[in-house]
Every structure is written in C-alpha cells, then in structure tokens.
Chains A and B, each alone.
Chain A
Amino acid sequence: MAKTPIGLEPVVGSLTPSKKREYRVTNRLQEGKRPLYAVVFNFIDSRYFNVFATVGGNRVTVYQCLDGGVIAVLQSYVDEDKDESFYTISWACNIDGTPFVVAGGINGIIRVIDASNEKIHKSFVGHGDSINEIRTQPLKPSLIVSASKDESVRLWNVHTGICILIFAGAGGHRNEVLSVDFHPSDIHRIASCGMDNTVKIWSMKEFWTYVEKSFTWTDLPSKFPTKYVQFPIFLASVHSNYVDCSRWLGDFILSKSVDNEIVLWEPKMKEQSPGEGTADILQKYPVPECDIWFIKFSCDFHYNAAAIGNREGKIYVWELQSSPPVLIARLSHAQSKSPIRQTATSFDGSTILSCCEDGTIWRWDAVPTD
C-alpha cells in the first residue's frame, strides 16, 4: 500500500477503554462441538428484537434473550447432510411479514426456513461453492444477497425463490467473496469484499425492473431471466489482504482485513469514469489480536457501537460515530479464549453475544449505570 499522503491520515482511536459502559457475562452456553460461525439478532421485525439465531455445523438454532441473562432456545433445525457446515445466517421475511431464517454454508445451498411454521420454505441451489455471507435488505426484507466462494454475489428473492442478479464477471471479484452488505438507504447499492483484497460497490439501478419483476413472477424460478452485473461502480483497495467483513455506515464503509483494525472510509467516486475512484480513510478502530480471517463485527440497530471479537476470545466495543473513536469497553473473561467468529449486538447495544470457534455462545449484558 502506498503511503498515506500528508493531510489524509485517518484518525485512530485510542485503546484506553472509556468505561462509558460496562459489560458483564450473564450467560454462556455450549451449543455443540462444532465451531459457531455466525450469530445475529433479528432487526427486521420489532416483535423479535430479542430473538437471535446462530449457525454452526449443520445446525441452525433460534434463541431468545430474556431478562436476567436467561437465554431461551426457541427452535432448532438440523440439515440432514452431516457434512453441511453453515457459515452465515440472516433474518428475512416474506412479503406478508412471515419471519424467515436464511442460512448458507459449505454446500453452497441457501436454506430459507420459515420460522413461524418451523419448516423449510425454500432451498436455493445455484452457487457453485460455499456461501460466506448472507445479508438482508432492510427496506425490502424479502431480498437477500449472498457472497460465495464461487466469486459471485447473488441477489435472491426469498418470497418467490428467484435468483435475480449475479454480480460477477469481467469486473467481478477474483477470489472468494467473504462479505456483502446492503446500503441502508440506497436500495440499489451493495458493497462486497473478499479474498481478492478489494471492496467493490455495485449498483443494481439499471436492473431494478428485474427486481420488481421477481416479486410478481409466477413461472418456475429457473425460468427467470437472471442477469449478470459484471461491473461494479466502485473498486477500492483499502486493504492489502483478505477483506472479510464490510458494512455500510451511512455512506461510509466499515471494513476489516486481518490487520488488527476496522477501517472507516468514504468511497469517492468519479462521476465521469465509473469503476474508478478513491477511498478516503477517515478513521481506524484498532482491535488487537485480530489477525485471522473470518472474524466479523456487528453493530447495534442505530450504528452507535460495533462489537468485534478477536483471536483470543476478547471483545472490543467501539463507539463508531465519534471522532476520534472511543473504545466503549473491552470485554474479557478468563474462560473465553477461543477465537470469536462473530458477535451480535442487540437493538440498543445493551446485550452483546459472541459465538466462538469452540461452539460456545457468550452473553454479555451492560451493567446499568444507575
């Protein structure tokens, strides 16, 4: 990476905890022997803000956070294929609001589970290799995107089971895609990143008619005219190694590689030449011992804080939108030593969950200040 020119240096957060909030372990449970790769709260439907889901091995589990650190198991699903290893999970819903749990993993099959009827809704076959991340469009939660090892990102309609768009090809990723995220307000925009060390921003504006068409499609899903989006509108080389998590923060992007930090940057597109542009790195949030890939961070509903685990089982909670960044808390527990693959931050950030390589789920609750 080229040296950052003077005057464009990022503001780096200090690792001294501000003690703004204190967290305490309130629960720990062992789900199984296999590593847990993802945990996520439901932000789609306000009834289920305290419901979260985890994946590990061939199992998908739905839990509820109750008062007093209690976690209730609500539902559990097991793929009959023992070799399946789910990597990612996301909440979605049908157009009538039926809650769905969408999971994907090594088999490359997206499982759409109807949580209100406790049965499989649909299985999407199409990806040529494992699925590394699934995200839901917050404005239209029937739309999901999946990032796959097959170097593509695909947009699906869970309601009709249609693969609407494939983001791959001439300008696509050159290696596994590890993470993808919908822009929170611009419904046409997604950002993806992966093992080719790049972050790409894609627009589906020109293809939006297909997205609309997917909702009214009555024929077989396989007959749908799936389109390829071959060129991203922006390409950033912010990192020099695998980029395994990226999230929009308004129009900025938070992304992380294996360099012990989360980076906040602004994509600056050039109007005349799409695909080109520069990334202005604004802030950095250091996360010590976070140098292995496939560690993902999570934000609360309002993007006030981000929680990220590390290789050593510690969690760093950063205040995202202050400048310079403030470390809200550093969570550690003597028994939490296994790498934390993903965290989940509750609606208001008062509860943080972490799922670990050793198959444990940890619940941390903020200690009431008064």
Chain B
Amino acid sequence: MAEKSSPSASANRSEAPKDSSMTQSEENNLTVKEVLSVIALLKKQVTVDRSVSVKKRLEENRQKVGGITSHLYKLSNERRSSWISDSDSALDLLTKRQKDALGMQNGIDVSNGDKDSHSYQEASTAVLMGSSIPVKNAVRPIKLTEVKKLPPYTTWIFLDRNQRMTEDQSVVGRRRIYYDQNGGEALICSDSEEEVIEEEEEKRDFVESEDFILRMTIKEVGLSDPVLESLAQCFSRSPPEVKARYETLMKEEKDAGASKNADIEAQNWNSFLEKDLEAGLDSFDNLFCRRCLVFDCRLHGCSQDLIFPADKQTPWSHPDEENAPCGPHCYRLVLKSERNGTVSSPINTEEKSNSSSDGVGAQTSFRKKPSGPSARRKVKSCQSESASSNAKNLSESSDSEIGPRPEDSSSIPQLSPSKNKIAGKSGIRKRNSKRVAERVLVCMRKRQKKMAASDSDSVVSGGVMPADIKLRSNARKENEETMSSSQKNVKSPNTGRSRRKEWPLQEGLQGEVPEVPSSETINDLPRTSGNDGLRKEEFVDENICKQEASDHKSWKAIEKGLFEKGVEIFGRNSCLIARNLLNGLKTCWEVFQYMTCSDNKLACHAADGVISLLEGYSKFDLNGNMGNNEVRRRSRFLRRRGRVRRLKYTWKSAAYHSIRKRITERKDQPCRQYNPCSCQTACGKQCSCLLNGTCCEKYCGCPKSCKNRFRGCHCAKSQCRSRQCPCFAADRECDPDVCRNCWVSCGDGTGSLGVPPQRGDNYECRNMKLLLKQQQRVLLGRSDVSGWGAFLKNSVGKHEYLGEYTGELISHREADKRGKIYDRENSSFLFNLNDQFVLDAYRKGDKLKFANHSPDPNCYAKVIMVAGDHRVGIFAKERINAGEELFYDYRYEPDRAPAWARKPEASGSKKEDGAPSGRAKKLA
C-alpha cells in the first residue's frame, strides 16, 4: 500500500484499507471508543502515507537537484577554462595570491617560521593562518573610497493620481514586529487594549487526507452523531461542518462521471460570442470607472454603485451627417443598387421613379429623421403615398417593393453583363420567373385590395414574403454562379431581407386568415412549375425555413445586445451602429435589416395589426433602457474579486485626527467625501448627497436641474483666480462640463477642444490645474535641512500651483494604525484629506512627499475638489526661485507634533505666522 502513494494518490488511500476493514463494516453499532480507535487507525495510516509521499517527493526533487548542480558544476569549470585561455593568468591577482599561499604553505612545511618576514617584504601577499602559526593579519588592506550614502527612504511607487488602498495593504489587525535599532530587540506592536480583533473563522478547506478519513470512517462505522462528533474533534472542526463535507463528498462521487461530459460541453460553449451582452456589460460595469473613464480604476475601485443619470442623452447624431455610404456594405449602397435594378421594371412606375430619381434625396430625408418613427409609420400605413414618402419605403414596407420584385431576376442581369449570359442560358428559368412574377402581381393586387380594407402593413409585408424570397433566391442562384463580388452585394442583402421578413410571415400567417391563401399559392407555385420545381422548392424551403432559423442563429445574443445598445447610443443609424459596435461582426446592411425586422417584429407582437411602429419603437426603447434606470448592483460573483480576510473590530479611540497627519490651511471642519447619489428625480430629503452634506455633482443620478447641484461658475475675465469665482471660493476646481466659460485649450492658446476659439476672448480658466495636470517640475534631492527634499526646477510666482501630493487613500482608522508605525520611525507621510480618507504617501506617492516641514514655509497645501474627488495641491506661498527647496507647514496638531514640527513659540497656540526661526526639519 505504501509503495506509491503520493499526495494526489487518493485512490491509493481509499483502496488500501478496504481489506483490513471489510470485516468490520457490518457491525454498525459501535461504541464511541471503537469509533475512536477506527479513526486513530486511519489517522495512523494517513500519517504513514504522508511520510511515504514526502519521501517520494524528496527523492524526485533530489534527482532534479542533482541534474541542476551537475550542470552548474560544468558551468563553473567552463569559467575556469575560458579564463585561462582568454587572458594572461599573471594579471589575475586572486589566482596569484592563491598560488603564493600554496607555495608558502609548502615552504612553511620546510622552513617553519620564515613566514613573517615573507609577508612583511611583500606586504600584500597572502598570510597563512594555520593552527601552528600565531594569528596575525598582515595583508595590507585595500581602501574602498567612500561613497556618500543616500538619505534613507523606503522604496516607493510613483503615483500621478491617488489610489485607494487595496485591502491586503491594510496593517489593521496584523501583527507587526518592530526592530528597535538601538535596543537591538524586536518588539511586537500589539494594540490589545484598543481593539479586539476577531478574525472571521477562516474557512479551511478539507484536505484530501481528511476526506479520506471521513469517508472511510463513515463507511466502516456508519453515519451517526457520535461518529460525527469524534470526527469533528479529530479534525478540530464542528460536527455540522463535517457532515456537510460528507454530503458533498458523496455527491461528488456520484457526479464524478457526469461532470466529465459537462466539462466538454462547457468547453465548446466558451466563445465570447455566445455570451450575451448583459454578462459583458456586467463586467464592464464592474471594471470601468465612469468617473475616471478608465478600466480598473484604482481611485474609485471596483465596488462603486452604478449610477445612471436621470437625464437621458439624446441619441448621438454626427454633426455633419454625410450621405456618403459608410462602406461597401452600407445599406444605402444596397438600396441604391436595388433601385437601379428596378429602373427597367414596367410595373410600379411611381416606385421606380421615386427610388431612382429621389434615391439620394430620399435618403437624405431619412437621415434627417434618424429617430423619427412617425415618418416610418406613415410610410407603412399608406404605401400608396410612396412618391412623397421616404426611401425607407423600399426597405421598411415590403409591399412597396412588390412591384419591382417580380422583375428582379430579369433586371439584375442589367447590372452586369456576365449575368446576362446566365439569364440567357436559362431560358426556362426566366420564363418561370416571369410566370412567378405574374402570379405575384395577382397576389399583390389582391393584397392591395385587402390592404385598403385592413391597412395592416405588417400583415402585408409578411404575406408578400414567399414570393419575394423565391424570386430573390432565384436571382441569388444566378449571382452565385457568376461569382462576382458586386453581385454578392446584391445577393446577400436579398437573402438578408428575406430573412427579415420571415418574422412577420410566421406570426402574421397564423393570425391573419386572408393572408394564408396568398402565401400558399405562392408556395405551391414552385412545386407545380415543371423543370424548376425542385429547385424552387429548395429555395422556398431554404428561405422560409432555414433562413428563419438562421436569422436567429446568425444574430448571436451578444450581437443583438450590441445592436440594442447601438440604437440607444446612435439612434436608428445602422452605419454608426455597424461601424462602432458591430465592426467585423455585421455589416451596415445587415444591421439595417435587423433593425427594420425588429420593428416589424414589434409591430406583429402587438395584438392588432394597426399597431404603429411608433409605439413599437418606443416600446423597444423602453426595453432597451428600462434595465439601466435601476441602480444595478454588481453581481455577487464579481464582488468577491480580491477576497481578503475580513476583520471585525471594536474600536475605542474613535477620534479621527490623532496621529501625526498633515492638514491644510483650512482649520475648520474637514471636507466631506463626495459619493454620487442615485436619485432619479430632483434630490429630495433622502438624497445621499444632501444627507452627507455635499453638493450633487455631475456624477450623480439626479437631473441637472437638481437644486443641490454645484452649478459651477460663469466667470469670463477673472480667469477664476480669485474668490469672486464661486468655484475658487468653494475650494473647487472649475469643471469644463459644469462651468459656463471654463474650457480646455490645447495649451498653445490657439486651438481648443470642441469650442470655437473666439469664445471668452482669450480667456483661459486658471482654476483647472490639477485636472489638467499643469504642474511644475519638481526635483528630488538631498535636503538642506534633513534627509530628502523637494526642489523647484523653474521659478514661479505667488499662488502658482506646483503639484499634487498623491498617495494611497486610507481610512482614518487605518491611518491611526499606520501612524503609530510611522511615528516610531519618526517619518510620516500621512495627510488628512477629508472626513473619510487620509492620504498616505509612504509606499506610493510622488516627489512632493519629500517636501519638508517648516513653520515659515514657502508653500502651502490645499485640499481641492476636482471632479468630485478631493485632491491635495501644493501652491507657492510666495515667489519661489528656480532650485529652491520647497517647504510647507505640516500643521500637525500641536500636541501630536514631533519635536521638530512644534511651533517655536508657545506650543499649543494656533498662531498663524510664527516668527521666522529657521526651518524645522522633517525626517523623510
């Protein structure tokens, strides 16, 4: 049994004891003592197994190590030989000394005692220190010239924007052992008086051996409470836990076979296209920060509540809407080519003329009303007006196309000469198609009559379908034969179109009695039409049945989802949707078809055929947006990302400013952290922003009219540099999204982003420096005072923004804990940011963290609200010359401040400008 058990050899383990325990398995009523003995036996066996497995693994590893070391040995030998061949060994002093020493030792053996004189003559040669010789170090030491060491620092990561602390960085609840440099002793920092740390019982997974004992014991002695209890004791777990584990084990055993198949299936199913957009968007919502417009935002994290603005944006429309087709597959091109095809058709002259002459114009009108379902509706309901209506007619209301349709097969050849040939060859087919055309015409006429009565466009469009398809496919066949790409263009739309119309057909057929015969007659037609019957049938089958299926198949869930989003974003603009969202997946034409198809679908879904597309569209829109309006919470699955032990605390010292934390000029209450509210109407009393005492910002869900919103400034000439600017006065940076005249220029003063340059007469907002990262170059160097210091590269004027003090955002509680550690090292980089957060630049920050403290500084720090976030800006208090070291007042609370940061006069008084008494130092 023991021969080949390894950690993964559970099979081995489960096999082995069977023979020994089989006899016992029948007697189930055993005493606790017996149960224990069984467990003990199993335990013993597990232990033996374990040692055997360790032995085996070590043996395997030994062989590996052997191979590695012999390779290394070879390398070390190569170095020796390469060295000898490469250079003159006399130059190598180490080898020389080695030889000298060897020679000397041999010499000593001969003449003992001669060594001392030897080494004194040639001072830097080897000295022997054997047991027989007195120890004397006479080798002349070689001096290593002094290199000035750096001021101490802890390796830190440069941050250009603040980051929120990740949970595993927390020092709270962790034991930290200090090494006291002076005492040479390690001290454990415990805060047992302050806090009781209750670690959530860490769920230990059952290991294989435990499973084994569990299984075997129960197998032998049965499942009963005493058994479970003794097992639990053995594993030091609770009996229910053990029981639960046993149940899962049993289940696993059963599922073992089945799961294998499931795995294979799952593998086939993992194409991203199979996922629906919801799932995709869910992870998008989790990973994308809507405030910073980046994925995996380190500042706001992945746990943001999703907030969707109540103000819906109007569908995006391109400023200079062109009529140029978006690509070779643009629906415009397709429509055009179709129209061209209809030119020769004698029937439906109105249509033809409309489409051919008005082609462009009609399109324009369509483009102009991208989201005008009413227009479409009109078209649908009264197709006779087609002359005056949009070109949409052609695609949307199939009945208007009935006319040209019959001629399609004959008209297409006109497009290309190659097709002509084929058409000529297959005379029968042509004739046939003509007959079909006649049939269709009859049908059409009938239908038009019907139409007048019912005015049910969806029904009509459905009814037309089969004929449509048939003829189209006829044309397609020909196209396929010719294999010309331009024709393919024509072809694929055709098939696509027929697909589109599948829907109404299916649904419409059942509902509308009058429709049935017409479609049936057409279905019948191919069957009766001699030669081509077979082929026709094929077409019909293919087109009606298969294509219907393919309609749903070819539009994968994610594509549908993307399309819906596209409509939300771009309106009913298939060009933009295809280009931006379905690039490489669907062509513009396909999108267009799908779009019209889904319209029809919606129309059909409505109980009566008169239901307007307008309603359908609005319903669709509703569907598209409804889900978004609710504040969606993250899925639980994603929430668990980055799982870290959770700790519970009782926290006694709740005061939030305790340990040395730098604060800013504002001595009044700290700023409040802004969290966007999810109000969907104007904020009332329940608004989280109002309750929290912050303004609503552009990230809130509430509409722009919300009374609690900060409205920005309207400054024109002041450049927002004084307290006259409401933004400046409120310690906020201007926001181009909110302020009226604050816009972003490209920096050279000439261009601007999206705003005409004349606006504001050369006005440039001066209150967006943090947002735009317009900081000064700061240099890091050896401080004139202590440790590291920050220096300015170029001269700046008073109140100039120098840079941001960045760091990790940590809670006050965490900061207090860290502060204790930092105070011990007499070096703290904590900076109070607001009521929720403290900035810690200890491990992550920027160079300004090294700016030293001074009671008479040349800079000041200010917490500023920038686009909803508090950030610390460092500003010049006076004019600062290039190369000067930067200082600011850390503003430690008087009683907390270390000696070097205390005000020289009466500590405790909060006097602003202390007498210039030299710059105090800060150990950085």
Q: Which A residues are closer than 8 A to B by beta carbons?
A: 2-3, 5-11, 26-27, 29-31, 43-49, 51, 59-60, 62, 64, 66-81, 93, 96-99, 107-109, 111, 113, 115-120, 123, 125-129, 138-139, 141, 148, 150-152, 166, 168-172, 174-176, 184-185, 195, 197, 228, 230, 241-242, 249-252, 266, 280, 282-283, 293, 301-303, 321-324
Contact = CB atoms under 8 A, between A and B. Distances in A.
B157 A230 contact: yes
A293 B603 CA distance: 80
Contact of B76 (A44, A125, A168): A44
Contacts of A113: 144
B634 interface: no
Nearest to A129: B152
Interface string B118-147: 000000101111110101011111111111
A284 to B, nearest CB: 11
Contact of B143 (A31, A78, A168, A171): A78
B98 A117 contact: no
Contact of B82 (A69, A97, A116, A322): A97
B212 A7 contact: yes
Interface in B215-244: 234-236
A116 B126 contact: no
Given A6-B209, A9-B50, A79 B76 contact: no
B83 interface: yes
A62 B843 CA distance: 38
Contact of A26 (B91, B131, B155, B210): B131
A302 B65 contact: yes
A-B complex: 3 closest residue pairs judged by Cβ atoms: A7-B209, A72-B101, A70-B130
B213 interface: yes
Nearest to A117: B93
A6 B152 CA distance: 46
A113 to B, nearest CB: 7
Contacts of B153: 128-129, 150
A250 B64 contact: yes
B94 A75 contact: yes
Contacts of A2: 202, 204
B54 interface: yes
B270 interface: no
- Give the contact-size bracket for chain B: 35 or more
Given A116-B91, A282-B54, A301 B145 contact: no
Nearest to A124: B147
B252 interface: no
B202 A108 contact: no
Given A9-B50, A45-B76, 10 more contacts: A7-B47, A7-B212, A11-B54, A59-B141, A74-B97, A75-B142, A77-B144, A78-B142, A81-B146, A116-B95
B177 A195 contact: yes
Contacts of B204: 2, 5
Contacts of B843: 151, 169
B729 interface: no
Contacts of B62: 250, 321
Interface in B49-65: 49-51, 54-55, 57-59, 61-62, 64-65
Contacts of A7: 46-47, 49-50, 207-210, 212-213
Contacts of A150: 152-155
A148 B57 CA distance: 33
B129 A99 contact: no
Q: What is the predominant secondary structure among interface residues of chain A facing chain B? A: loop
A280 B127 contact: no
A73 B137 contact: yes
Contacts of A107: 147, 149
Contacts of A70: 105, 128-131, 133
Given A3-B236, A64-B101, A128 B152 contact: yes
Contacts of B98: 47-48, 51, 64, 74
Nearest to B58: A323
A74 B98 CA distance: 7
Contact of A241 (B66, B145, B169, B177): B177
B176 interface: yes
B329 to A, nearest CB: 40
A303 B157 contact: no
B64 A6 contact: no
Contact of B94 (A30, A48, A266): A48
Given A45-B76, A75-B139, A195-B177, A323 B55 contact: yes
A280 B69 contact: no
A303 B155 CA distance: 33
A292 to B, nearest CB: 9
17 contacts: A7-B208, A9-B47, A9-B50, A46-B77, A64-B97, A72-B129, A77-B142, A79-B146, A97-B86, A128-B155, A151-B155, A170-B166, A184-B69, A185-B71, A230-B157, A283-B54, A321-B65
B47 to A, nearest CB: 7
A22 to B, nearest CB: 18
A80 B145 contact: yes
A230 B844 CA distance: 12
A46 B80 contact: yes
Given A5-B207, A6-B234, A176-B179, A71 B154 contact: no
Nearest to B64: A250
Contacts of A252: 61
B154 A169 contact: no
Contacts of A48: 94, 98
Contacts of B66: 302
B638 interface: no
B43 interface: yes
A19 to B, nearest CB: 22
A282 B58 contact: yes
Considering residues B135, B204, B208, B209, which has the most beta carbons from chain A within 10 angstroms of its beta carbon?
Answer: B135
Interface in B67-113: 68-69, 71-73, 75-77, 79-80, 82-83, 86-87, 91-95, 97-98, 101-102, 104-105
Given A70-B128, A169-B157, A280-B7, A250 B101 contact: no
B441 to A, nearest CB: 65
Given A5-B210, A302-B66, A282 B157 contact: no
B76 A43 contact: yes
A228 B158 CA distance: 10
A232 B339 CA distance: 64
B763 to A, nearest CB: 41
Contact of B101 (A11, A74, A166, A249): A74
Contacts of B57: 266, 282
Among B65, B72, B77, the most chain A Cβ lie within 10 Å of the Cβ of B65
Contacts of B196: none
A48 to B, nearest CB: 7
Contacts of B139: 73-76
A249 B58 CA distance: 10
Nearest to A66: B105
Given A43-B76, A118-B93, A323-B51, A6 B235 contact: yes
Given A5-B209, A64-B126, A195-B177, A138 B72 contact: yes
B150 interface: yes
Given A47-B83, A116-B91, A125 B209 contact: no
Contacts of B207: 5-8
A66 B133 CA distance: 14
Contacts of A250: 61-62, 64-65, 68
A206 B666 CA distance: 47
